[in-house]
A and B are shown apart, each in its own frame.
Chain A
Amino acid sequence: MGYPVLNVQSVTMAFGGLRAVDDVSFDVKPGEIVGLIGPNGAGKTTLFNVISGYLKPTQGRIFFHGDDITGKPPYDLAKIGIGRTFQIVKPFAGLSVLENVMVAALLKHPSKKNAEANARAVLEFTGLLDKAHMPASSLTLPGRKRLEIAKALALEPSLLLLDEVMAGLNPTEVKETTGLIQQVWDRGVTVLLIEHNMRVIMSLSHRVIVLNYGEKIAEGSPKEVAENPLVIKAYLGEEMAV
C-alpha cells in the first residue's frame, strides 16, 4: 500500500509539432492537496485531459494506486475512482440538478432509489439541495460550478481533479468553495487542482507543481514555489525576476 495515488511518468502530449505537455513527471501522495499552476497555455488542462482519459499521451505512462491507467477512457477511470471537473462546466442542462448528480451516483449505487438517496446527500453537502428539482440550466455560474463538483463527488472518487473551479467566482464564493474543498479533503479524498487564484493555491495546497510551455519548471511547498525565480519569470517576465 505504499503507492502514490497518482504517478505521472515522463508524459508528453504532442499535437503534430506542438508539445503541449513536455516530459512531465510527478507524484500525488494519498491525502495530499496538490496545486497545479502555470501561465495560460502552459498545458495544465491538457495534462488533466491526459490523466483523466480524454487524450492518449504521445509518450509516458500514468499510474493510479500502482495500476497502469495510460490511455484508459474516462468512463473506466470514473469507475476506479478518478473524478474530474471541467474548466468550462459540462452540466446536463435539460435534466434537473438532482438528476445530474444521480447519473454520477448510479456508478456506485446502481438502483435508482439508492442513487437518488446518495445524490441528495451530496447535494446537501454542497449546498444545492434546495435546487434539487430545478433544471440545471437555471443555475447561475457559481451554482453550476458547485454542481460540477457535486457530480464528481457523487462518483465517490479517491482522486479529485479540479480544473479552475474558482474562475468567475466572487470573493465570498471563493471562500465557500475553498471551505468545500477542505471538507472534501477531510473525508479522505486526494485532490489535484488547477488554479490561477494564488491565494487559494497558497492556502489549500500541501505542494505545488508549476508548468510553463508544457514543461515542469518547479515543484515544492507553496512558499518555495512563490519564491522560485523561474516561476516568477514565467508569470511576470524576465525583468521582474532579477
Chain B
Amino acid sequence: MGRKFYASISVVVLLFLVVPLVVHDTFYLRAVTEAIMWIGLAVTWDVLAGYTGYLNFGHGAFFGIGAYTTAILMVHKGWPFFAASIAGGAMAGLGALIAGIPTLRLRGAYFAIATWALARAIQQLALILDITGGPDGMRLPPFLQPRFFFYVMGGTVLIIFIVFWYLFEVDPFGLKVKAIRENEDGAMAMGLNPARIKTKVFTISAVPTGIIGGIYAYWITYIDPPSTLGDLVTDQAVVMAVFGGLGTLIGPAIGALIISTFKIYFWAYLSDYQVLYLIILGGLIALSVVFMPDGLWGTVYGKIQNARLAGSKEKR
C-alpha cells in the first residue's frame, strides 16, 4: 500500500487516540462513536452496492443478527463481550451465505426487493421467538463506559476500513468485482465466476456489519426488533453511501460523517421536529441521485482525475 495511504491512516489513528483525552463531555464522545458506527455501516453496504452493483436493502438484517446473537450469547449463555460480538459477525456471515443462494442470481431491482423481504422476515422472527424476547426486546448486562465503546467501535471500523482498502483497492479482487458490476457476461468471458465472487462480497459485507451490531447491542444495553431489525438502519446507511459516493470507500465514510453529525445535532437541538430528519434525508437522496450521482466524494475525485488526465495530455 502506498505511502500516502499509510500517512493518512496514521493521521486518522492519531486523531482517534487523542479524541477521548480531549473530549470529556460524554455526549460528544457518544456522538463520535455513533458517527464511526455509521461509517462502518455505510462502507460495508457500499462494497456490495457500489463496487459490485448489488443493492442490498436488507443490509440492516446483518446488523440486527449481530446484535441479537451477541445479546443472546451474553444474556443466556454468559459469553464474554468480545467472543459474543465475533459470534455475531459469524452469524451474520452465515446469514449472507444462506440468503445469497436464492438472491444473488437475481439482478437489479429484484435483488433489492428480495433482500428487503428477507430482512422483514427476520424482523418478524425476532418478534415472535421467545429467545429474542419478542416485542419487549432484550436487556444486556450494563457496562456504561463511553470511552471503552469509543475505542472498540473506532478500532473495529478502522480495521474494517483497512481490510476493505486492501481487498478492494490494492488486491486485484476489487477489479474483478467491478468487472462483474460493469458486465457480468463479459466478465465470465474473462474467466471470472460471478456467483462465487458475488457470494464472497456478500459475506464480506455481512460479517463486519454483524460485529458492529454486536458492539451496538452492548453499548446501548437494550435492543428490540424495530431498532435493530427495522428499515431505518439500512435506509440511513444507503443515503450516507449514495450521498458520499458509491464505488469508493472514502465516499460512504464522508457521507456517514456528514449525515450522522447532522442527525445527532438535529436530535439534540431540534427534537421537536424529529420527523423532519427523515423527510430531509429522503429529499437529500433524491437530490443526490439526480444532481450529484457520483456523490460528494465521487464528484470531487472525478474532477481531480479529469484535471490530472488533461494535465498529462498537455505535457506531450
Chain A residues engaging chain B, CB cutoff 8 angstroms: 52-54, 73-75, 78-79, 83-84, 86, 90-95, 99, 102-104, 106-107, 110-112, 115, 133-134, 151-152, 155
Contacts and interface: CB of A to CB of B under 8 A. Distances in A.
Given A110-B172, A112-B172, A92 B193 contact: no
Given A73-B193, A92-B182, 10 more contacts: A74-B188, A75-B192, A90-B185, A90-B186, A91-B186, A94-B247, A95-B179, A102-B175, A107-B191, A112-B170
7 contacts: A53-B188, A79-B191, A86-B186, A95-B182, A104-B190, A115-B172, A151-B186
Nearest to B186: A90
B171 interface: yes
Contacts of A94: 178, 181-182, 247
A93 B183 CA distance: 8
B187 interface: yes
B182 A107 contact: no
Contacts of B181: 94
A73 B187 CA distance: 12
B290 interface: no
B309 A103 contact: no
B15 interface: no
Contacts of B189: 52, 74-75, 78, 83-84, 86, 90, 151-152
Contacts of B171: 112
A92 B188 contact: no
B198 interface: no
The CB with the most chain A CB atoms within 10 A, among B175, B185, B186, B309, is that of: B186
Contacts of B247: 94
Contacts of B185: 54, 74, 86, 90
A54 B186 CA distance: 11
- Which applies to chain B's interface (DSSP): helix, strand, loop or mixed? helix
Nearest to B316: A130
Contact of A104 (B191, B193, B309): B191
A75 B191 contact: yes
Nearest to B305: A133
Contact of B186 (A92, A115, A133, A155): A92
Contact of A75 (B170, B175, B188, B309): B188
B304 to A, nearest CB: 14
A83 B186 CA distance: 11
Contact of A90 (B175, B183, B309): B183
A107 to B, nearest CB: 4
A106 B186 contact: no
A155 B178 contact: no
Nearest to B196: A75
B182 A78 contact: no
B59 interface: no
The CB with the most chain A CB atoms within 10 A, among B170, B182, B191, B309, is that of: B191
A99 B189 CA distance: 15
A75 B192 CA distance: 5
Interface in B117-145: none
Given A94-B182, A133-B309, A103 B187 contact: yes
A140 B190 CA distance: 22
The CB with the most chain B CB atoms within 10 A, among A78, A90, A115, is that of: A90
A138 B25 CA distance: 53
Nearest to B309: A133
A74 B189 CA distance: 5
Nearest to B194: A75
A170 B190 CA distance: 28
B190 A107 contact: yes
Interface string B152-185: 0000000000000000001110011011011101
Interface string B296-316: 000000000000010000000
Contacts of B178: 92, 94-95, 99
